[in-house]
Amino acid sequence: MIDKTAMQKAAEYIKKHSTAQDWTFNISSSNATRTRFAQNGITQHISGDANGISLKVSFGAKTGSASVNNTNEDGLEYLIKTAEAIAQRNQPDPEFMATEGVHELQKVNNYSEATENLTPKNLVDIVEKCVKNAVNKGAKASGMTEKDTVHTAMFTKNGFEGFYDNTSFSHSMTMKKGGVETKISRSMLDYNDFDINKIIDQLNVQFDSLSDPEPIEPGKIPVILRPAAVADWFVYLFWMLDRRNADEGLTPFTDQLGKKFFGDKFSLKSVMNEPGLMAPPFTGEGIPATNIDWIKNGVINNMFTTRYYANKIGVKPTSPYNVLIEGGDATEAEMMKMVPRGVILNKMWYIRNIDRKAGTQTGLTRDGVLYFEDGKIVKSVNNFRWNEILHDVTRRIIAKGPSVLIDTWCKVPTLMIDDFNFVDTTSF
Give the pLDDT confidence of 301-342 residue by residue, as tens digits: 999 999 999 999 999 999 999 999 999 999 999 999 999 999
Whether 210 contacts 180, CB under 8 Å: yes
Residue 152's CB: how many other CB atoms inside 10 A?
A: 20
The string of DSSP letters for 211-233 reads: SSPBP---SEEEEEE-HHHHHHH
pLDDT at res. 386: 98
Cβ-Cβ contacts under 8 Å for 99 (sequence gap 6 or more): 22, 23, 24, 156, 157, 158, 160, 286
Residue 178 dihedral angles phi and psi, to the nearest 5°: 60, -125
Of 39 and 426, the one with more pLDDT: 39
Q: How far is CA 48 from CA 31, 36, 165, 194, in A?
A: 6, 15, 17, 23
CA distance 108 to 115: 17
pLDDT at res. 389: 97
Cα 125–Cα 131–Cα 132 angle in degrees, nearest 5: 90
pLDDT at res. 261: 98
pLDDT in tens, 109-144: 999 999 999 999 999 999 999 999 999 999 999 999
User: What's the maximum distance between 2 C-alpha atoms anywhere in the chain?
Assistant: 73
Closest CA to 160 of 46, 50, 25: 25
pLDDT higher than threshold 90 for residue 88? yes
Cβ-Cβ contacts under 8 Å for 142 (sequence gap 6 or more): 37, 38, 39, 173, 174, 176
Question: What proportion of the chain, given as a percentage, has pLDDT over 90?
Answer: 95
Whether 241 contacts 304, CB under 8 Å: yes
Helix axes 196-209, 120-136, angle to 10 degrees: 30
Cβ-Cβ contacts under 8 Å for 277 (sequence gap 6 or more): 189, 271, 322, 324, 405, 408, 409, 410, 411
pLDDT at res. 238: 87
Amino acid symbol at 63: T
CA-CA-CA-CA torsion sign (29, 196, 144, 363): negative
Whether 143 contacts 172, CB under 8 Å: yes
Mean pLDDT (whole number) for 69-78? 95
Mean pLDDT (whole number) for 179-192? 93
pLDDT at res. 300: 98
CA distance 146 to 408: 13
CA distance 226 to 198: 16
CA-CA-CA-CA torsion sign (217, 223, 224, 229): positive
The confidence band for 209, taking pLDDT boundaries of 50, 70 and 90, is: confident
pLDDT in tens, 226-280: 999 999 999 999 889 999 999 999 999 999 999 999 999 999 999 998 999 999 9
Residue 224's DSSP bridge partners are: 344, 416
CA distance 226 to 330: 12
pLDDT at res. 306: 96
Residue 96 dihedral angles phi and psi, to the nearest 5°: -65, 140
DSSP conformation class of 109:
-
Mean pLDDT lowest for which of 100-109, 207-216, 308-317? 207-216
Residue 30 dihedral angles phi and psi, to the nearest 5°: -135, 155
Mean pLDDT (whole number) for 273-292? 95
Whether 386 contacts 420, CB under 8 Å: yes
pLDDT at res. 425: 93
Residue 48's DSSP bridge partners are: 32
Helix axes 4-17, 73-89, angle to 10 degrees: 50
Compute and round to an integer the Cα radius of gyration of the chain.
24
pTM of the entire structure? 0.93
Domains detected in the chain: 4-202 (3.30.2290.10), 212-428 (no CATH)
